[in-house]
Amino acid sequence: MNYDILISFALATIALAISPGPDNIYVLVQSISNGKSYGMATVCGLIAGCLIHTTLLAFGVSAIIAANEDLFFGIKLLGAIYLLYLAFKVYRSDGQLNLESNVAPKKSLTGLFVQGFFMNVLNPKVTIFFLAFFPGFLFSDTLSHVIQFYILGGLFMLVSFLVFSSIALLAGNIKTYVVKHNNSGMVLKWLQIVVFVGIAIFILI
């Protein structure tokens, strides 16, 4: 078992979770608008949805690996290309964080959990991202691929939960910092670019 790969996976997940995206921005806005508990309910829903993507990935890709190693390499190659494409999209963006333009109508805690769950599960971009991200981090020659994907999925959910929860609990401080530091969005933009490119290179080598 290669623990260095697991550590690399965890660090990459931290960087991805911190980088601004629709999920963590939505958590941030819910916490700012309605309170920390509402942000946390959204976080729990989003993380729960990851279990569905992990299951689909574990059984689907594991079957592909068992059938054809060359096809699996093709999946990793396409995954690296997709991550480079995401890096290019981020590069083309303006890097601005606008929290005021987001509308966060107040729902019940259960409603936000359900909404977060379906926001994740029904987003095909999440499925594609998991397919691009996870296969390059298989870490053992003895464990089955299904078990490895579930371990990676569990680690992804744990790390993402900790980061997203921190965003929900520190929402007020984060907003204050973003307002005071106009360049924070640009710093996070380049963090995303570095992370996407780094993961793509890691997968290929």
CA distances 166 to 3, 39, 83, 161, Å, are: 26, 10, 26, 8
Per-residue pLDDT band at 114 (split at 50, 70, 90): very high
d(CA 55, CA 170): 31
Among the listed residues 102, 97, 136, 123, the one whose alpha carbon sits nearest the alpha carbon of residue 29: 102
Higher pLDDT, 21 or 129: 129
Q: Can you tell me the mean pLDDT for 153-171? A: 96
Q: What are phi and psi of 98, to 5 degrees?
A: -115, 100
Q: How many domains does the chain have?
A: 1
Q: Please state the φ and ψ torsions of residue 42, each to the nearest 5 degrees.
A: -65, -40
- Res 205 pLDDT > 50: yes
- Within 8 A by CB and 6+ apart from 175, the residues are 28, 32, 99
Phi then psi dihedrals of residue 182, to 5 deg: -65, -20
Comparing CA positions, the residue from 4, 29, 6, 194 lying closest to residue 97 is 29
pLDDT, mean of residues 163-178:
89
Structural domain for 108, as ranges: 3-204
* The pLDDT of residue 143: 93
More reliable by pLDDT, 44 or 196? 44
Q: What is the pLDDT of residues 84-108, one digit of tens each?
A: 998 998 888 876 766 654 555 678 9
Percentage of residues of the chain with pLDDT beyond 90: 47
Instruction: Please tell me whether residue 49 adopts helix, strand or coil conformation.
Output: helix
User: If pLDDT is split at 50, 70 and 90, which confidence band does 36 have?
Assistant: very high
